[in-house]
Amino acid sequence: MPRVLTFLPAVLSALAALWFLGFASPVADGETLTWSRVWIEGLGIEVAFLIDGLALTFALMVTGIGALIFLYTAVYFKGHAKLPRLLVLLSLFAVSMLGLVLADDAITLFVFWELTTITSFLLVGFDHEKADARGKALQALIVTGLGGLALLAGLILLGFEAGTFRLSEINAMGGLTTAALYVPIVVLVLLGAFTKSAQFPFHFWLPGAMAAPTPVSAYLHSATMVKAGVYLVARLSPALGGTDLWIWSLTLFGAVTMIWASVLALKQIDLKLMLAYTTVMGLGALMMFLGGESRYATAAAATFLVVHALYKAALFLTVGLIDKGTGTRDVTRLGGLARAMPITMMIASIAALSMAGFPPLIGFIGKELKYEGALAVATEPLLVATAALLANAMMVACAGLVAVAPFWGKRGDTPKTPGDVSVWLWIGPAVLAALGLWFGLMPDTLARVVVNPVVDSIAPGTKDVELKLWHGINVPFLLSLATFALGIVLYRGRAEIRAALNRPGFGGMPAADVFEALLAAFKRFAAWTARTVQGGRMSVYLRVAFAMLALLVWGAHLVSPAETLPPPGQVALIPLAVTGLILAAGFVVLVTNSRLYGLTALGIVGAAIALIFVFFSAIDVAITQLLVEMLVVIILAVALVKLPAMPFQRHFRAGDALIATALGIGVAFVVAAVLTRPFDARITEFYEAASLPDAFGRNVVNVILVDFRALDTLGEVAVVLVAAIAAVAALTAGRKSRRGEGGE
């Protein structure tokens, strides 16, 4: 791949970002743009897209941050053999994510949702030679995939309840909160959102996903994909929000996630893993504020959404720079890098100041808004505000760990001699960090283009939210001061805190352990099923198959019993005699001690059944039955030579007898019940009438087989061939082929 091509995704993404930026002005004026096309007509499913404030904000993040990350990736992995694969996967992901946030149809949204799950799986497992990366990729796939299934069920229920799959129509209709299926819809949709956005207790997959290359983590597992759950909750909150269930679920799960992830973040020594936990914290905060139900809380969520994406992507990329420059991400080994990597230090400092919420960065405004929003939430302002205060203080400490600890103090012992990296690598994080500063100084732009349009999409109202650096001395400002003080105390005591948190027996990853245990139990169950049902012995297979058939037949009887049984008709003497023959031969099969007798008796059963077909004028069936019977006897006779002699004493097997009796009587009942229904002869009449004029054959059976329903026959013939290939393979396995000796 020519080197210049590796920059193509970045260029395309930047162009897309500019294109989306063109919508900013009309959207800010309250316009929404839609586009739709019928997809599956009968089900009312469309491919529908919509651009409103919420969708546009996400689209700008996906394409804008995407452009910078694609550029970074192309340089970071310069000359790497798998760079093209990485870029293609990242681009596929970007398109999926874009589709997700622009979708206006629930099913369209779900399809893109699953595409992000799949591309994320491929990206986490990018280093697929490593067992750890594969395991973590699978873990992420299973957790988010199960959530996706729940979401699908939730969206379908929602669509049925609303009568449409158009999200904008669903949001506009109202009254869904009193619908009969409201509770299951909310539970299922939130399951999807919580798994995708790594909310407690599903948070463990996101740190695991750090097995991905750093640019991937920055893009998917921090700035974009993990926010899909947040997006979904925001998108559906006009339709589903406002109830106690909704508000409390979001507030509680968000708050718990936020606090717990902050604690776990302080525990980490790998900078990237620490950032992953702070991402989980950010997602928890977003969920919590979306449950706030006031325009202030929503504005806090909208602002923090952008703030977080900017500083977190910048910090992830910075950690990548540190990793590339020094060869390690271990915070205990890093120190004193400011002189060697001044540019990296500058970027990290600006981004971290935003993360810690210092003025004049946008992070400060975001944090003030959080406190304002927390005090305005509908449920428990005190609880939310306290949770936010604690989490923010821990964020201050984490910011210190990322931006202060590696760059100042004693020179650490690193595998490589540290040095700044090329301009093309640091330009991406630099732009992101600079945006954080710019928005902080010019908050009105952000308010007009992003925050208010987003708030309008989620919680319609008239009063615009203002973003200001200086609000005067009020409660949020005092809380900010408390945050800084507490954060600095936590940072100074970081070593002790980390040691305390890493004490054996504390915390760990209980959720991940539970997940692994469940997975292992499921695998054991699967192995047990395979052993039991697929026992490898013919008698086991037959027992399972016949027992299931008996259950089915009797189940059908019990669910819809036949009203009457047919009156006993006159049975001619000869069929009666043939039936007696079948019974006698069957009895011989049961009691004989000789395989040869048994085989012969089975042949008699088959031949007698063929005779019965003859009585009912089914000559073709009779001939087929007879020939198959002959072949079975021949083939079994060949095998007979090798089979061991029958055990002399055959014991009575009660279980098998029960299955056989149940199945036999059940089938007899079914046949009798079928005869009570009036016979619909239309199909028969059609074939009889059409066979000769249309297909030039008088044998209706054969004409059906080779003409009217030839496709069925083709399938069956293919099955015969496949079965033969399998049988030959099984029979010749492990043995030298004898073909060369005989034959031609």
Partner 1 sequence: MNSTILRTGSRVLLPLFLIASVLILLRGHNEPGGGFIGGLMAVIAVALHAIAAGPEAARAALRVEPLTIAGIGLLCAVAAGFWGIAAGGDFLTGVWPLLTTTPEGDKAGLPVGSVLLFDTGVYLTVLGAVSAILFALEDAVYAEGDD
User: For binding to partner 1 (CB under 8 A), which residues are involved?
Assistant: 619-620, 623-624, 627-628, 630-631, 634-635, 638-639, 641-642, 695-699, 701-703, 705-707, 710-711, 713-714, 717-718, 720-721, 723-725, 727-728, 731-732, 735, 738-739, 741-744
CA distance 59 to 577: 80
Q: Is the peptide bond before 26 cis (omega within 30 degrees of 0)?
A: no
C-alpha closest to that of 112 among 122, 120, 101? 101
Helix, strand, or coil (residue 334)? coil
Residue with Cβ nearer partner 1 (530 or 634): 634
C-alpha closest to that of 648 among 595, 601, 585, 603? 595
* 51 and 59 Cβ atoms separated by less than 8 Å: yes
CA distance 135 to 113: 22
Residue with Cβ nearer partner 1 (548 or 728): 728
Residue with Cβ nearer partner 1 (372 or 629): 629
Taking the complex as a whole, how short is the minimal distance between the CB of residue 549 and partner 1, in angstroms?
25
C-alpha closest to that of 285 among 350, 355, 186, 184? 355
Taking the complex as a whole, how short is the minimal distance between the CB of residue 666 and partner 1, in angstroms?
30
Taking the complex as a whole, how short is the minimal distance between the CB of residue 646 and partner 1, in angstroms?
18
Residue type, 116: T
Burial of 569 (0-12, 13-18, 19+ CB in 10 A): exposed
In the numeric block, the tokens 């305390």 are attached to 500
CA distance 426 to 320: 10
Helix (H) or strand (E) holding 51, with range, is strand 45-51
Taking the complex as a whole, how short is the minimal distance between the CB of residue 193 and partner 1, in angstroms?
46
Residue with Cβ nearer partner 1 (360 or 697): 697
Taking the complex as a whole, how short is the minimal distance between the CB of residue 628 and partner 1, in angstroms?
7
Residue with Cβ nearer partner 1 (623 or 668): 623
Residue with Cβ nearer partner 1 (420 or 707): 707
Residue with Cβ nearer partner 1 (653 or 709): 709
Residue with Cβ nearer partner 1 (651 or 735): 735
- The secondary structure of 676-733 as a DSSP string is HSPP--HHHHHHHHHHHHHH--S-HHHHIIIIITHHHHHHHHHHHHHHHHHHHHHHHT
* 347 and 426 Cβ atoms separated by less than 8 Å: yes
Taking the complex as a whole, how short is the minimal distance between the CB of residue 533 and partner 1, in angstroms?
25
Residue with Cβ nearer partner 1 (647 or 743): 743
Taking the complex as a whole, how short is the minimal distance between the CB of residue 600 and partner 1, in angstroms?
16
Taking the complex as a whole, how short is the minimal distance between the CB of residue 730 and partner 1, in angstroms?
8
Residue with Cβ nearer partner 1 (441 or 727): 727
C-alpha closest to that of 433 among 541, 377, 493, 353? 353
Taking the complex as a whole, how short is the minimal distance between the CB of residue 719 and partner 1, in angstroms?
10
Residue with Cβ nearer partner 1 (677 or 738): 738
Taking the complex as a whole, how short is the minimal distance between the CB of residue 671 and partner 1, in angstroms?
25
CA end-to-end span of the chain: 51
Taking the complex as a whole, how short is the minimal distance between the CB of residue 621 and partner 1, in angstroms?
9
Residue with Cβ nearer partner 1 (444 or 688): 688
Residue type, 164: T
Residue with Cβ nearer partner 1 (525 or 615): 615
Taking the complex as a whole, how short is the minimal distance between the CB of residue 577 and partner 1, in angstroms?
24
CA distance 331 to 495: 11
Residue type, 147: G
Under DSSP, the state recorded for 536 is S
Taking the complex as a whole, how short is the minimal distance between the CB of residue 143 and partner 1, in angstroms?
44
The gap from C-alpha 65 to its chain's centroid, in whole angstroms, comes to: 24
Number of alpha carbons in the 13 Å side-chain half-sphere of residue 168 = 19
Residue with Cβ nearer partner 1 (131 or 733): 733
Tokens of 666: 């059940």
Q: How far is CA 323 from CA 304, 412, 489, in A?
A: 27, 13, 28
**Residues near 230 by beta carbon (within 8 Å), at least 6 away in sequence:** 193, 197, 283, 286, 287, 290, 301, 305
CA distance 301 to 373: 9
Taking the complex as a whole, how short is the minimal distance between the CB of residue 732 and partner 1, in angstroms?
6
Write out 174-228 in H/E/C secondary structure: CCHHHCCCHHHHHHHHHHHHHHHCCCCCCCCHHHHHHHCCHHHHHHHHHHCHHHH
C-alpha closest to that of 189 among 154, 143, 234, 142? 154
Taking the complex as a whole, how short is the minimal distance between the CB of residue 567 and partner 1, in angstroms?
33
Strand ranges in 338-396 using DSSP code E only, listed in sequence order: none
Tokens of 548: 């299931």
Tokens of 460: 């319609």
Taking the complex as a whole, how short is the minimal distance between the CB of residue 736 and partner 1, in angstroms?
8
Length of the chain in residues, anyone? 744
Residue with Cβ nearer partner 1 (129 or 741): 741
Residue with Cβ nearer partner 1 (434 or 599): 599
Burial of 420 (0-12, 13-18, 19+ CB in 10 A): middle
Helix, strand, or coil (residue 430)? helix
In the numeric block, the tokens 């987003």 are attached to 454
Residue with Cβ nearer partner 1 (386 or 600): 600
Taking the complex as a whole, how short is the minimal distance between the CB of residue 713 and partner 1, in angstroms?
6
CA distance 14 to 118: 24
